[in-house]
Amino acid sequence: MTRRCSWFRVALVAFGVVSCSRSDNASREGAASASASVAPPPPTPSVRSNAPEVEVSHVELLDAYEASAARADERFKGKRVLVRGKVGEVVKEGANTVVTMPKEAKPDAPSVRCSVRESEAAEVAAWKADDSVDVVGKLVKFDKHATLEGCVVNTQVKACRVVAKALGRGTCEQDREELGARLVLGAEQASLVCGSPAGFEAWRAKTASLPAQERAGRMISVDTTSCHLTYEGLTPRLAVEFSSALARVRWENDVPTLAP
């Protein structure tokens, strides 16, 4: 009798272990299933790209190639380049719209030739000779003329409009002398530049010598967007608003856009 009870107890213990094991497994599987059912979907690949890799004036670009095509290729070829300059002409070459920025005002002068995207063609149609412009495109070759493809135009005005939209007010004008745009808020103005990381670092180094209070009162920068803004008589409230607006600027496929 004692032996039978012992075996009966062993059987019960074994059955309990198996039952608990199955119960635990079922609980884990159920939890995993529930977790999977409420887990967020995998993130979609981001289409956002970084800021342009380098910025330069059209004259500086052509001078670099005339000085040493090999060294200039190392610096520019195959990269997304932000070029600022003056319009020579806008021409049609087959199905393409091409903007030229000649080094000199004479026939067949070396130039930057920028093949613009189809979505940009309407914007450049109204351009006139000597208009100040900026373009972002991929530099593909140099053969007396520096050729860029897939160009987006007036990126600085586009960036300015993004900031004005985030602020809920303001109008934008192309800066005729320097890279950037002017953000006009009634009688007040701000100079906005969204360029390459190297250009941003150069601006930050240039302004580092100013007194901290002056920098805080007039200048705002957001490292992640390579944008900076210089403002006259900045109030604390506007400083916060501008910082928030700049933080939402993104370069998406070479077009400045507004993040959520």
Q: Provide long-range contacts, Cβ within 8 A and 24+ apart, for 167-174.
A: 167/241, 167/242, 167/245, 174/132, 174/133
Residues 28-40 have a mean pLDDT of: 37
For 139-150, give the DSSP string.
EEEESSSEEEEE
Q: What is the largest CA-CA distance in the chain?
A: 118
- Give me the phi and psi of 173, to 5 degrees please: -135, 145
Question: Band of the pLDDT at 22, cuts 50, 70, 90?
Answer: very low
Distances (CA, A) of 251 to 34, 46, 138, 183, 225: 38, 12, 15, 19, 8
Share of the chain above pLDDT 70, in %: 81
User: What does the pLDDT look like over 190-234, one tens digit per residue?
Assistant: 999 999 999 999 999 999 889 988 888 889 998 888 999 999 888
Contact between 148 and 138 (Cβ < 8 Å): yes
Distance CA 206, CA 113 (A): 31
User: What does the pLDDT look like over 65-96, one tens digit per residue?
Assistant: 999 999 999 999 999 999 999 999 999 999 89
Residues 172-193 have a mean pLDDT of: 92
Contact between 192 and 226 (Cβ < 8 Å): no
Q: What is the phi-psi region of residue 22: left when phi exceeds 0, alpha when psi lies from -120 to 50, beta otherwise?
A: alpha
User: What does the pLDDT look like over 154-172, one tens digit per residue?
Assistant: 999 999 999 999 999 999 9
Question: Band of the pLDDT at 132, cuts 50, 70, 90?
Answer: very high
Question: Band of the pLDDT at 49, cuts 50, 70, 90?
Answer: low
More confident residue, 91 or 3: 91
Q: Determine the 3-state secondary structure of 49 from DSSP.
A: coil
